């Protein structure tokens, strides 16, 4: 097997532009890796090899003429199966969408194609990205453990090398959650930077389309490739050109008291504290910044998300309710039962936090808030609870949402970057910054990543010669 699949996006893009590598060669290596790993990983819902090869050949033909579509010219990518890709199924992990073929690309996919990307296929997700049910994707670090939030296929595919980068959606952490669990980098961009058109929504207010990749540099390249032109303008230009230009030693805020309130496990705290020491050695100033108000985000986020989910799913439930998972139906029905007063209170909390958190950060001269991404390592799948109201520290969806929802509720950018291991499982470092300061958030993550080697770890449980069974190709 050729080893081009091991390349990061930025490295491969450079070789493609210098014509030291062809798009077809890169795609062949990725497809070989997919074939070798999919029997274990089950990350893919649909692989369109024919369309991928056609796009790769077109990329090479353009390159032979000295023409390049954009920074992602010839780079193969995967897309979470709640995001439309023209001519491919959009089934969202649900029987109610079985056989539905997208007629148009989602906004983010359209931008990726315009920048030269090769869209290879669709990646597994929990039903409609609600976190319910059990997708077939398996944790590459431990087959018995939870493989991540609803962008699970995106995380697993990137982790095992069957695609160098992928799109996910993040309503309450579902890009950053599987990134942390799989030892990857996952970014939730600032609200409005990346189009959410063509997405099967949980919540149009809370949903963000974001990238998962093996490095900060690769996530930055993907953000540049998927952002709308107006989004790039809001970010002050392409972030790839900014991430190594952090001006001066940044101040980073931490609230260790709330980590205790969130029930963060000792092994996770230890890994994050080591990461903070690395950042301090790099010249970052770590300051204690109490922000107990962050804990208001979970309940407000749930109320807004589920009330909006009712709007998005009402018509389909009217005709296909029996084809939804019962747990998904219950979540949507819970949204329908929310009172106008509860929803109004949730919106008031959102408005409050959107102004309060940035103001506190500015007063403290803090450029970012740093914390663990998740309260614990990946739980065993058999004990994972999908309840939204479980207690802190439990193996539950709520435990993850509690720590990550603030970024979705406020629209602030946030990234998870690998920072070590606890009991043999990856731990993520979470960095959240001011609205439209995505470049600053990524620059801090990049500085940390360049000083460590955690992002270079490859899951050991996926063998290169694993037998692929039932791989979904067309």
Question: Are 45 and 472 contacting, i.e. CB atoms less than 8 angstroms apart?
Answer: yes
Is the Cα dihedral 179, 208, 190, 194 positive or negative?
A: positive
Strands (E) in 194-319, as ranges, are: 208-213, 251-254, 285-288
Would you call 142 helix, strand, or coil by DSSP? coil
How many angstroms separate the CA atoms of 226 and 16, rounded?
19
Say which of 29, 137, 174, 307 is annotated catalytic. 174
Please, which residues have CB within 8 angstroms of residue 414's CB and are 6 or more apart in sequence? 176, 187, 188, 404, 407, 430, 431, 432, 433, 441
The Cα–Cα gap between 5 and 27 comes to 8
Q: At what angle do helices 326-337 and 297-320 cross, to 10 degrees?
A: 110
Which of 29, 94, 96, 150 is the catalytic position? Answer: 150
Catalytic annotation present for 339? no
Strand, coil or helix: 22:
coil
Catalytic residue among 80, 96, 240, 416: 80
Active site annotation includes 405? no
Whole-number Å distance between alpha carbons of 16 and 370: 36
**Cβ atoms 21, 15 nearer than 8 A:** yes
Asked whether the beta carbons of 100 and 89 are under 8 A apart, the reply is yes
Q: Mark whether 65 is an active-site residue.
A: no
Which distant-in-sequence residues (6+ apart) come within 8 Å of 429 by Cβ?
272, 275, 370, 372, 373, 416, 417, 418, 419, 445, 448
* Contacts (Cβ under 8 Å, ≥6 apart) of 341: none
Residues tagged active-site? 80, 150, 174
């Amino acid at each position: 097997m050729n080893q081009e699949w091991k390349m990061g996006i930025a490295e491969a893009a450079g070789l493609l532009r210098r014509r030291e590598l062809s798009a077809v060669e890169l795609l062949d290596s990725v497809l070989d890796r997919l074939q070798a790993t999919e029997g274990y990983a089950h990350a893919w819902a649909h692989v369109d090899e024919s369309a991928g090869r056609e796009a790769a050949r077109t990329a090479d033909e353009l390159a032979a003429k000295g023409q390049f579509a954009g920074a992602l010219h010839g780079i193969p990518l995967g897309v979470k199966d709640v995001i439309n890709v023209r001519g491919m199924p959009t089934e969202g992990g649900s029987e109610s969408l079985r056989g539905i073929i997208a007629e148009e690309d989602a906004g983010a996919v359209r931008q990726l194609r315009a920048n030269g990307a090769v869209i290879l296929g669709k990646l597994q997700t929990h039903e409609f990205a609600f976190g319910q049910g059990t997708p077939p994707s398996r944790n590459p670090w431990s087959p018995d453990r939870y493989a991540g939030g609803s962008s699970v296929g995106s995380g697993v595919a990137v982790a095992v090398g069957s695609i160098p980068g992928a799109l996910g959606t993040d309503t309450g952490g579902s890009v950053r959650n599987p990134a942390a669990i799989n030892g990857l980098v996952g970014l939730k961009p600032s609200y409005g930077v990346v189009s959410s058109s063509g997405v099967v929504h949980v919540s149009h207010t809370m949903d963000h389309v974001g990238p998962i990749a093996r490095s900060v540099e690769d996530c930055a390249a993907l953000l540049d490739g998927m952002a709308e032109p107006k989004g790039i303008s809001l970010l002050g230009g392409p972030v790839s050109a900014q991430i190594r230009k952090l001006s001066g030693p940044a101040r980073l805020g931490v609230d260790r008291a709330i980590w205790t309130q969130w029930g963060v496990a000792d092994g996770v705290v230890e890994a994050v504290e080591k990461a903070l020491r690395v950042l301090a050695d790099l010249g970052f100033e770590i300051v204690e910044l109490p922000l107990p108000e962050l804990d208001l985000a979970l309940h407000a986020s749930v109320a807004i998300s589920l009330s909006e989910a009712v709007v998005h799913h009402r018509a389909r439930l009217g005709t296909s309710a029996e084809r939804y998972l019962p747990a998904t139906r219950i979540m949507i029905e819970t949204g329908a039962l929310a009172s106008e007063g509860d929803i109004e209170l949730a919106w008031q909390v959102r408005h409050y936090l959107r102004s309060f958190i940035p103001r506190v950060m500015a007063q403290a001269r803090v450029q970012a808030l740093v914390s663990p991404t998740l309260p614990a390592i990946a739980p065993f799948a058999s004990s994972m609870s999908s309840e939204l109201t479980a207690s802190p520290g439990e193996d539950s969806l709520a435990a993850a949402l509690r720590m990550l929802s603030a970024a979705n509720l406020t629209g602030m950018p946030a990234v998870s970057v690998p920072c070590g291991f606890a009991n043999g499982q990856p731990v993520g470092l979470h960095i959240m910054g001011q609205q439209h300061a995505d470049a600053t958030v990524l620059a801090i993550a990049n500085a940390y990543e360049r000083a460590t080697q955690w992002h270079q770890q490859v899951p050991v449980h996926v063998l290169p010669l694993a037998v692929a069974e039932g791989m979904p190709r067309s």
